């Protein structure tokens, strides 16, 4: 059998021929290949070989010998290449049942993600505007009753029951953007939305901002919340402090102790910042967050709402409560 190898750039050109003598021969030379050296340039290297016999060299031994003379055996089709891990795994997955080879069934593609309009803006200039939200449960918007209560508390604490004090809002785990959009509708001047899911940003959040007319007052950060905090200066610049921060994470995917410490130690929190936190039952929330104190903590079924703010807001809320009683 004759096998032609591809052109080689090795300075040493050689032909090999396995010496097959009779099996009775005991000479050591019978176990070695015959090598013919040539200094004449050639565009290809011819390798002569026959099938392995009792006194012939195995393929692996030939490879080792040829490599010593500078020949690239990996580029020669004559030498079988080892199977890749991927092909090995594929073979392992194949099973034999009743003499027939059966492969594992292919993985079905996930159905396309779709949206519906079940949310709406509660108050302000965009009141009653319908908002998109995913039909799946991977994004969980804040319930309207919780959202309404949160904004009522913020407006009263800020001294303006009819609207929010003008300022900048940071909407963490924004999802549909319903909280940040509510803030813009009620008087906020700018909202930064932090959402890591590109599909939610392109097919839910951005359309909601466009339909409410708030796209020019918004900044979208398609990044994980942790990365946003790590690169705060890059994303926000020197204007670090926010007047309001909303925190509505997926309950099962965050550690609230770690998350609240991350927020309290960030440059986003100032002395007059308000922080709105939605959290599940059986979660212990601290009485303070950085320089801020907890001014309210309310329950809505299995959902709880904590709001942190400056000490002057807490005193104002207490005095108002005492007057009503």
Q: What tens-digit pLDDT sequence spans the chain (325 residues)?
A: 444 444 444 444 444 444 444 444 444 444 444 444 444 444 444 444 444 444 445 566 666 766 666 555 555 555 555 555 555 555 555 555 555 666 667 777 878 888 888 899 999 999 999 999 998 766 778 899 999 999 999 999 888 888 898 899 999 999 999 999 999 999 999 999 999 999 999 999 999 999 999 999 999 999 999 999 999 888 887 767 999 999 999 988 899 999 999 999 999 999 999 999 999 988 999 999 999 999 999 999 989 999 999 998 876 655 554 444 4
Give the pLDDT of residue 74.
58
Domains located in the chain, CATH noted:
2-84 (no CATH), 115-324 (3.40.50.150)
Q: Are 258 and 225 in contact (CB under 8 A)?
A: no
Give the pLDDT of residue 116.
87
Give the pLDDT of residue 44.
43
- What is the H or E stretch that residue 133 is in? strand 130-134
Pairing of strands 33-38, 46-48: unpaired
Give the pLDDT of residue 204.
96
Q: What is the DSSP letter of 7?
A: P
Question: Which of these, 102, 234, 228, 231, lies nearest to 173 by C-alpha position?
Answer: 228
Question: Residue 76 has which token pair?
Answer: 């020669």
Give the pLDDT of residue 111.
80
Q: Write the secondary structure of 260-322 as one string of H (helix), E (strand) and C (coil).
A: HHHHHCCCCEEEEEEEEEEEECCCCCCCEECCEEEEEEEEECCEEEEEEECHHHHHHHHHHHH
């Amino acid at each position: 059998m004759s096998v032609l190898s591809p052109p080689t750039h090795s300075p040493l050109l050689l032909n090999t021929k396995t010496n097959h003598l009779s099996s009775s021969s005991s000479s050591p030379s019978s176990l070695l290949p015959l090598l013919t050296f040539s200094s004449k340039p050639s565009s290809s290297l011819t390798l002569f070989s026959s099938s392995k016999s009792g006194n012939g060299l195995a393929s692996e031994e030939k490879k080792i010998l040829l490599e010593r003379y500078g020949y690239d055996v990996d580029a020669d089709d004559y030498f079988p290449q080892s199977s890749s891990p991927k092909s090995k795994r594929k073979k392992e997955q194949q099973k034999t049942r009743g003499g027939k080879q059966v492969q594992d069934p292919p993985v079905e593609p996930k159905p396309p993600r779709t949206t519906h309009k079940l949310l709406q803006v509660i108050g302000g200039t965009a009141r009653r505007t319908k908002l998109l939200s995913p039909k799946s449960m991977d994004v969980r918007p804040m319930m309207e009753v919780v959202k309404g209560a949160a904004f009522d508390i913020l407006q009263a604490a800020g001294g303006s029951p009819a609207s929010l004090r003008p300022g900048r809002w940071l909407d963490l785990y924004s999802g549909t953007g319903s909280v940040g959009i509510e803030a813009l509708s009620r008087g906020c001047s700018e909202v930064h939305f932090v959402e890591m899911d590109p599909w939610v940003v392109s097919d839910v959040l951005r359309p909601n901002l466009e339909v409410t007319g708030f796209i020019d007052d918004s900044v979208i950060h398609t990044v994980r919340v942790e990365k946003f905090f790590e690169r705060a200066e890059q994303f926000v610049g020197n204007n670090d402090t926010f007047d309001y921060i909303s925190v509505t994470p997926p309950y099962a995917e965050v550690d609230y102790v770690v998350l609240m410490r991350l927020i309290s130690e960030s440059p986003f929190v100032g002395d007059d910042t308000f922080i709105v936190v939605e959290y599940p039952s059986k979660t212990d929330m601290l009485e303070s967050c950085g320089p801020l104190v907890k001014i309210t903590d309310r329950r809505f079924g299995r959902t709880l709402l904590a709001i942190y703010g400056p000490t002057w807001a807490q005193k104002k809320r207490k005095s108002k409560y005492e007057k009503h009683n």
